[in-house]
Structure 1
Amino acid sequence: MEEFDTHLEDDHLHVVAPPGSGKTVLGLEMVQRLDKKTLILAPTLTIRNQWYERMLECFVKDRNCIETSFSIKKPATLTFSTYQSLHSLFKNDLEYSSEKLLKFFQEAEIGTLVLDEAHHLKNEWWKPLFNLKKLQDCTLIALTATPPYDSEKNELKKYFDLCGPIDMEIGVPELVREGNLCPHQDYIHFSEPDAEQIQYIITYRENLMRFVETLKANKDFIAFIQKHPFYAETEAHLEEIYKNPERFSALLIYLNAAGATIPKTKVEFLGIKAEKVQFPSLSYEWVEALLTPFLIEEREYYEADEALLLHIEKQLRKIGAFDLKRINLTGEKSLYRKLAQSPSKLKSIVEIVKAESQNLQRGLRMVVLSDYIRKEFLEVQHNQSVSEINKLGVVPIFQFVRNAIKNDVDFPLRREKLGVLTGSLIILHNSVIDELSTLISAENFIQEILWETEFVIIKPNVQGSKKMVAAMTQLFETGHIEVLIGTKSLLGEGWDAPAINTLVLASFVGSFVMSNQMRGRAIRVHSLQPSKVANIWHIACVDPTSETGGADLELLYRRFGAFCGISLQGEPYIENGADRLKLLPETKKDVPLLNQKMMALATKRGEVMQRWKKAIGDGDVLVRELKVNYEKPQTHGQLKKLYFKDALRFLILELSAIFTVLLPELFFKNLTTLLAKGVLFFIYALVLGFAMILLPKTVKVVTLYLKYGRRDKELIKIAHALKTAMVAKGMILEAEQKVSIKVDAFEDGSLSCYLLGASAKEGILFVTYLQEIINPIENPRYIIAQSNWVRKKLGFSNYYSVPKVFGERKADAMVFYKAWKRYNGVAQFIFTRNTKGRKLLLKARFHSYQDTEKVTSRGALIWK
């Protein structure tokens, strides 16, 4: 709020803060300060009602002192509504007319528009909101817990076009320090697929490999590719090729993999000397890029070859790689579906319930969130085994936990403490019904005994339904229910139960938004338990046939990118992403041992609180940084030395070691030979031996150094150029000398880069643009080719994108280029929207395909 007036200079404010941190109260305070008629839009009725409730709790003593409305058709001083209601008004009353919409709200004198969690928007809801943004003298306030960073590019663009750039990101560490959120830790329980699932995965991969090998040997398809205009008449189609360089590259890479001889002239169109070209291997991604135009996008143009294409399509369909007009060879959807819903996860949940209940006893308040109810598993009869349950869901979880309690006399959770709450299914132990009746009249619900158990299905009437969630929440808060199993749709967002101290995410939804919202249920502070520490459990099924651990684990990595947390072991630090757990590379080695380790750490809640205190005390600001590394798993140690440190320095150190340690040792050990055959022979032998040992390494080191230089120094130069350009364009308001750049190098070879002294908004923009520059070239309007005389002679050039924000106008691009030359020296500035520029763009893109040291980067939030 101290910077409120500054942020509102452009009639816009976009704030990001975690779930449970008080965004609603913050929004109401901003509305009060603006003091104009306001329309507040929320994604659900529950969240809409929370705005009204917070207003009564925190801002007004008499609800009649301010005119409010829940009807968007009858705006008041404060109107609380939903995005769906706005769309309904736009569609049914205003006949999709943008002019009528603007006129309606201008006549209503709406001066402030509040968008709460705008990431929920459906496609048809965007248009009325963009029209509302055109209201004259209207201030837009956007509040969210998680921008949809993992959405499609066009969806993400629409989100930021509507909400504007982020002005302020309020971080978890600040909120934990101030006591607005409780200390918490994320844990993972790993499971392994059963034999049937593993066989399915192996068979899928074998079929996929067989398909690619068959495609490479398909003489008819090779001939079909060779007669394609891009290949047969390359020079006549250069303009189209330069507009679609990936496709031309895919044609050449396929033909190379198929063993066809590719004329030098074809390769030279890539801007690369034919004798130096190294084609990438034919990966599944390249096969997708090759086949998609022929089988989907431009199928009608190849009627003469329909029989050939249909045969390939049938092969893809047979192995499950052609679905919904999309070729998907990596198979992440079909494989992921198998792993994500693996029944082995049910056993993981039972183990977590048992361990947490043993640790917290009657103090446990656990919520388990799943995607589906799965009512078909309600009646697991006494002669049936729960092992026959083969899907993940609310009822399967309930049956597994119930069965574990029944069959294990030492199970710490009492059966009456287990409950289910979803929108259409409520289950309670029969001993808790009397307590429920004190909260909701028994007349408002009926009971149905669950097949041969002590549990009851509660079926409320219309009146009872309105109060049921609140009543079940109270039973949970007071400890009549200790483990509550529900759906993410009902309890995952907007549901408020501060007593939660353990959350199990049995959901395979991996979106940033939903993951963060679900965690938000657990990390709220509890006034009755000031020392509350929350454990958040994630469940992943490890694919033992995959080098990366499989699609389920990859989705978990993505989920961790949505939130900040404390490191699991070692020196405490706070960062987003899964790196802070430091256990993930071990997942394939010994799953039971890793789970045992996680369980042991989860019992130490007091240590978690101390780790938060220490990490928060060691920092004072949440910094948006760019983390950079270069992937080459087989020679990671070598890469660390060659690419992130000065390569020549290591060579000099090695030579020093030879002359100070090895040479004297050789001299004394071979003194007899020296005296017998003479000094000259000994020197020749030494020179020859050292040449054989050092020459290949020396050539490689010097070549790599000339090509790449020192990665940390290169990154600093690029970062300084960007900062200077941003200052010149007014994107950084502080004087250039007051904002500094910091680059940190880590033991694993990675680097991080961030701004110090800049605002949160400036830091976010800096990282975004820096990532654009260093990531592999896609299709920028301008690129920069960085080289020098020696590199040119060796045929090396490094290519960088000019960030889009500078590339829209040539004058802005020149500002960036001028700053670039100041720090990086002479470079070539290339406009890519003409024939010459597109040729160089194609060369730059193919250069990145050839590069065996792939750049990987991600924006990270870290407390410093």
Structure 2
Amino acid sequence: MTELAQQLSFKFTWRSYQQKFLDYFQDHIEDDHLHVVAPPGSGKTILGLEMISRVNKTTLVLAPTLTIRNQWQSRLRTFFIKDSGFDRYSLDIKTPRLLTFSTYQSLHALDKSLIEEGKTLVDYFKEHGIRTIVLDEAHHLKSEWWKSLFTLKQIENLTIIALTATPPYDSTAQEVKKYFDLCGPIDDEIAVPDLVGNGDLCPHQDFVYFSRPAQSQMKYIVTYRERIMAFTNALLENADFQNMLLQHPMYANTAASLEAIYDQPSFFSSILIFLKAAGHPIDPKKLRFLGFKEKNIEFPDLSYEWLEILLQQLLVAQRSSLASYEGLLQPIQKELARIGVYAKKRVNFIGDDQLYRSLASSPSKLESIGAILIAEQKALREALRAVVLTDFIRKEFLDFSGTDTETLTKLGVVSIFQYLRTATDFKSAIGILTGSLVILHKSTISDFEKLIKGTQYSLTPLACDEEFLIVNSFGSAKNHIVATMTALFEAGAIKILIGTKSLLGEGWDAPAINSLILASYVGSFVSSNQMRGRAIRVDGRKNGKTGNIWHLACLDPTVADGGKDLEKLERRFEAFSGVSASGITYIENGLERLQLPIRYSADTNLQELNAQMLRLAAERDQLKERWFDAISKGSVLVREVKLPYTGNIPFEEAKKLRWGNASKYLLLEVALGIGLFFPEFLAKNIGTLLGQGVFRFIYLLLIAMVVGFAPKTYKALKLYFIFGNTHKKTKRIAKALLAALYAKELLHTPTTQVSIKTEQQSTGSFVCYLLGATNAESSLFVNLLAEILAPIENPRYLLVYRPWLFGQWGMRTYHVVPAIFGKRKQDAQLFHKHWRKHVNSSSLFYTRTVSGRKELLKARLSHIVYQFKEVPKKAITWK
């Protein structure tokens, strides 16, 4: 036994969820990789030190900042070092010891210096015997740090432990892949419900407050949409543009352009869709050549997405090969630039950055913040401790005076302050805390001066309102100012603190926060979760704390999905779990648990929605009850694949019309019809039965039944196969996947302990998950199932199923072989074997051949004929 295991011993008692994690530690670490997701408040650093002790090898801990590095040293001294002492640790990577705490920046700098000396990082690690690396706050890893860390992975038997509060799911696909290649799959996750149940996090809820754009913004949006519509209509009538598409090699000579079509199937689709929308008949030979029958093609509308794909290729990607059409393309480019759709060689109809920024920083959110704080103050009274976090300071509004808040045209710390100062009664309760601007109300100055003794600072009256003072400080005094402002907030001298997420988002701690407003739109999953972490911590000085986290959404009433501001919010909600807002109690990630409308329009009653949110926010005692009721219903976080309900009407109404009832009612109607029809038919044809015999009678009966009931029977069967069979097929696919994973020995939990579960939720969503497997196994299963069900991209192997009836009804006939089974032919055949056993008799195609590429192209174009638009999501639910 080395000195680490001998000298480091946890002095206290592990919390139940920590002990549960440690019970499985040896199983997780067998492959020398351990990836743990641990939310704020779970004791991540202490668990990390315990893992280091158990691995028992010379270790390097890497942190993103010096502050976090120093926290490791502090926790080591406080929680692990025995009375005899332990001093074989270092804070300098250049002088490593048995246990070294450093930063990613220092490792990167060391790597560069070693290269200059003709040495390598691998040799350095071997020389100093470093055999374990701990990656703390692994979500902070930046591109320039990757190479150094991946270089170290070539060291044999090197153990890598990755710790994070939030994996960077909203990064680019390439960055996410790098992250998981380095850290490995998630082995375990310390669940927020465990922390709430154990009293380490407080019961909390996320709410959304909606607003509509200000009148000036609305005018801009409507004008923007009208310009795009006018441009699109003009382009559809442009005969020269149509002729260019008709003469494009992909359309004019499809057979000779297959390789180009294989590489750009979406572009080829956009050509067909545009020409169809322009009223040009599509040559059926093109479609038959690709394997489609003309009668099955249901062309989608020419959406902005398709137009964007088309013009991006013509104006940028293929511009050099279209030189002869420059006289046509140049005016189109200029017009797109004029209306704000083309910039920096990027055509962007949908997510126009300028339009999104306009909504995300809409001054209408100032009114939202005011309304939220008024409601929270009414509910909490003197106990209110609210923090408003935003992205920018906006010092240009420091001179704002008067009461015309419409001139506060940008969202930021100062504009929020000025709105609250002039439009609400919170004046003496407000304070500002940022890295470069600190403002106090004069009523708090005496308390401030008592706390700040010994620190150099000066006070300057605010020009627009002398009741407020700007605190000026220099050098190290800034840290004392932050600590003092925090203390004033904790004590209640300041009840509403406005700041930037850069200063207060990570590392800053004020457990008294009970209301947090996230007026930030730059933030990612990671920063959003870190900001929430400020409000969900328990307050040791006050029992029974609850936390409300408010998210602001400015809706674009010109689009059905609410616009980019809401889309960003939906992605943000995927990063954290919480209790359902009303109705049946359950714990799940995502926005769905708030039970908001499926579609939004100019007619959506935002006042009613906001009133509902404010009412629920005031019910803090019920919030506690809902959390503990939901916690009692489960014991573990389960990863699942969710096929969301995408209908335009509420699911409860829709399900009466969908397959489950529609097909049954139709079949029942057929049965009842036959029951009523038969006596009448018998009475009318009794003479035939007696005179011409039974066979003649049966013959006439069958003809009458076919004529009368075949259409309804056909419709009922079609409804069942198209809609009713989808969820059953998903379960069969899951069974095939599970069997293949066991056959490839990627799962190790005994098969007798593992089962596939499916559920139709009250919201209409259909979910599928694995019960009884480890966290890592469940994660693998869910990722692969989502890959199979997702729109087809570029797999190496493809499964093709072609029954005649499916083709007639436009049912999905293509599925991918997951990449993990597609690397080797034997593995693809193994997956195919289990697919045939559990799903159907699909054929297996290798897509890197000519015939295989043709099948892949048809599969990727098949969105044109698919009836199913659901895109699978990966969800996390407490069960």
Alpha-carbon deviations, 1:640-660, whole Å to 9, x = none?
Answer: 467663864332233356578
Alignment partner of 2:96 out of 75, 86, 94 = 75
**Which residue of 2 is the match for residue 162 of structure 1?**
182
Q: 347-356 vs 780-789, which deviates more?
A: 780-789
Change (3 A) 1:96 1:245: farther
The equivalent residue for 2:530 is: 517
2:63 to 42, 60, 72: 42
Instruction: Find out whether 1:428 has 2:449 as its counterpart.
Output: no
In structure 2, the residue matched to 1:474 is: 487
Q: Structure 1 103/440 Cα, relative in aligned 2: closer, same or farther at 3 Å?
A: farther
Question: Which residue of structure 2 lines up, in the alignment, with residue 56 of structure 1?
Answer: 77
- Call closer, same or farther: CA 1:62–1:290 in 2, change over 3 Å: farther
Q: 1:854: Cα distance to partner? A: 0.7
Distance 2:225 2:710 in 1: 42
* Deviations 1:29-81 (CA, angstroms, capped at 9, x unpaired): 21222233322222233333332333333223679732443333333333333
Structural mapping, 1:314-329, within 5 Å? 314-329=334-349
Say which of 753, 771, 785 aligns to 2:800.
785
Please show how residues 232-247 of structure 1 align to structure 2 within 5 Å: 232-247=252-267
Kindly state the Cα deviation for residue 797 of structure 1 after the two structures are TM-superposed: 5.4
* Cα distance in structure 1, aligned partners of 2:35 and 2:180: 9
> Which residue is equivalent to 1:456?
469
Match of 2:225 in 1: 205
Return the alpha-carbon distance in structure 1 between the equivalents of residues 433 and 86 of structure 2: 37
- 2:697 equivalent in structure 1: none
1:591 aligns with 2:606: yes
Q: Which amino acid aligns with 2:134?
A: V
Does 151-160 or 97-106 show the bigger shift? 97-106
Find 2:305's aligned residue among 266, 285, 292.
285
**Equivalent in the alignment of 1:527:** 540
Q: Which amino acid aligns with 2:183?
A: C
1:13 aligns with one of 34, 45, 64: 34
Counterpart for residue 810 of structure 1: 825
Alignment of 1:389 onto 2:408: yes
* 3-state secondary structure, aligned to 2:290: coil
Shift of 1:268: 1.6
CA RMSD of aligned residues (A): 2.9
Deviation at 1:504, TM superposition (A): 0.8
CA contact under 8 A between 2:810 and 2:866: conserved in structure 1? no
SS in 1 for 2:120: helix
**Does the CA-based 8 Å contact 1:17-1:144 persist in structure 2?**
yes
Match in the other structure for 1:619: 634
Out of 334, 338, 353, which is 2:354 matched to? 334
How far apart in 2 are the matches of 1:390 and 1:692?
A: 68
| Distance in 1 of aligned mates of 2:199 and 2:317 | 55
Tell me the equivalent position of 1:408.
none
Over 3 Å counting, the alpha-carbon distance change for 1:327 and 1:587 in structure 2 is closer
Instruction: Give 3-state SS (helix, strand or coil) of 1:140's partner.
Output: strand
| Alignment-derived partner of residue 678 in structure 1 | none
Checking the alignment, whether the CA contact within 8 Å between 2:599 and 2:648 is kept in structure 1 is: no
Q: Is the deviation greater in 219-228 or in 63-72?
A: 63-72
Between the aligned partners of 1:151 and 1:97, the Cα distance in structure 2 is 35
Aligned twin of 2:18: none
Give the 3 Å change call, closer, same or farther, for CA 752–313 of structure 1 in structure 2: same
> Which residue does the alignment assign to 2:791?
776
Task: Provide closer, same or farther for how the CA distance between residues 595 and 639 of structure 1 changes in structure 2, counting only shifts above 3 A.
Answer: closer
Q: Which moved more, 1:185-194 or 1:233-242?
A: 233-242
Deviates more, 1:328-337 or 1:6-15: 328-337
Distance 2:120 2:806 in 1: 62
| Structure 2 residues not aligned, in runs of 5+ | 1-21, 685-700
Cα distance in 2 for partners of 1:50, 1:223 equals 67
The secondary structure found in structure 2 opposite 1:480 is coil
**TM-score using structure 2 length:** 0.90
Query: Structure 2: which amino acid aligns with 1:515?
Result: S
After TM superposition, the structure 1 stretch with the greater mean CA deviation from structure 2, 418-427 or 841-850, is 841-850
Q: Give distance in 2, aligned partners of 1:472 and 1:657.
A: 77
Counterparts in 2 of 1:435 and 1:59: CA distance versus 1, 3 Å: farther
| Secondary structure in structure 2 of the residue aligned to 1:331 | coil
Match 2:554 to one of 541, 554, 567:
541
1:637 positional shift: 7.6
Task: Please list, as runs of the form range in 1=range in 2, the aligned pairs for 1:222-301 lying within 5 A after superposition.
Answer: 222-301=242-321
Q: Please report how far the alpha carbon of residue 344 of structure 1 lies from its aligned counterpart in structure 2 after TM superposition.
A: 1.0
- 1:148 has 2:161 as partner: no
Secondary structure of 2:102 counterpart: strand
Does the 8 Å contact 2:351/2:564 carry over to 1?
A: no
| Structure 2 residue 212 is the aligned partner of structure 1 residue 172 | no
In 1, are the aligned partners of 2:667 and 2:713 still within 8 Å (CA)?
A: no
Aligned to 1:751: 766
Deviation at 1:196, TM superposition (A): 1.4
Q: Say which of 844, 852, 857 aligns to 2:859.
A: 844
* d(CA) in 2 for partners of 1:801, 1:767: 15
Deviation sequence 1:154-190 (CA, Å, 0-9, x none): 1111111111111012221121112221110111211
CA separation in 2, counterparts of 1:430 and 1:32?
52
Residue number in structure 2 paired with 1:444: 456
SS of the residue 2:133 aligns to: strand
CA contact (8 A) 1:118 1:142 kept: yes
Structure 1 distance, partners of 2:843, 2:335, is 47
Q: Residue 829 of structure 1 corresponds to which residue in structure 2? A: 844
Shifted more, 123-132 versus 195-204: the winner is: 123-132
- Aligned amino acid, residue 426 of structure 1: V
User: How far off is 1:695 after superposition?
Assistant: 5.9
Contact 2:28 2:187 in 1 (8 A): yes
Partner of 1:628: 643
The Cα of 1:506 is off from its aligned counterpart by 0.8
Checking the alignment, whether the CA contact within 8 Å between 1:783 and 1:832 is kept in structure 2 is: yes
Q: 1:533: Cα distance to partner?
A: 0.9
- For the Cα contact (< 8 Å) 2:660–2:720, is it kept in 1? no
Tell whether the 8 Å contact from 1:567 to 1:581 is kept in structure 2 after alignment: yes
- In the alignment, is residue 717 of structure 1 matched against residue 755 of structure 2? no
Of residues 535, 557, 562, the one that matches 2:570 is 557
591-600 vs 437-446, which deviates more? 437-446
SS in 2 for 1:65: coil
C-alpha contact (below 8 Å) 2:204/2:548 kept by paired residues: yes
Pick closer, same or farther for the CA change 1:434–1:74 going to 2, 3 Å.
farther
Contact 1:430–1:454 (Cα < 8 Å) also in 2: yes
| Matches of 2:235 and 2:732, distance apart in 1 | 45
Distance in 2 of aligned mates of 1:575 and 1:270? 43
Contact 1:778 1:845 in 2 (8 A): yes
Alignment of 1:690-709 (within 5 A): 697-706=712-721
Partner residue in 1 for 2:423: 404
Task: Supply the AA of the counterpart residue of 1:542.
Answer: L
Secondary structure (helix, strand or coil) at the match of 1:521 reads: helix
1:120 corresponds to 2:140: yes
Partner of 2:15: none
SS at match of 1:94: helix
| Partner residue of 2:746 out of 721, 731, 744 | 731
The residue type equivalent to 1:342 in the other structure is S
Q: What is the CA deviation profile of residues 416-466 of structure 1, one whole-angstrom value per residue up to 9, with x for unaligned ones?
A: 432111111111123333333333335421211112321111121213123
Moved more, 253-262 or 775-784: 253-262
1:858 to 2:873 alignment? yes
Alpha-carbon distance in structure 2 between the residues aligned to 1:488 and 1:144: 19
Q: 1:831 to 1:623 in 2, by over 3 A?
A: same
Instruction: Tell me, yes or no, if the aligned pair for 1:576 and 1:862 is still in contact at 8 Å.
Output: yes
CA distance, structure 1, for counterparts of residue 276 and residue 114 of structure 2: 59
The alignment of Structure 1 onto Structure 2 pairs a total of residues equal to 838
The superposition leaves residues 357-409 of structure 1 with CA deviations (integer Å, 9 ceiling, x where unpaired) of 2221221211111000111111223x46333111111111111112234xxxx
Aligned 8 A contact 1:510 1:556 in 2: no
Q: CA contact under 8 A between 1:191 and 1:542: conserved in structure 2?
A: yes
Letter in 1 for 2:62: L
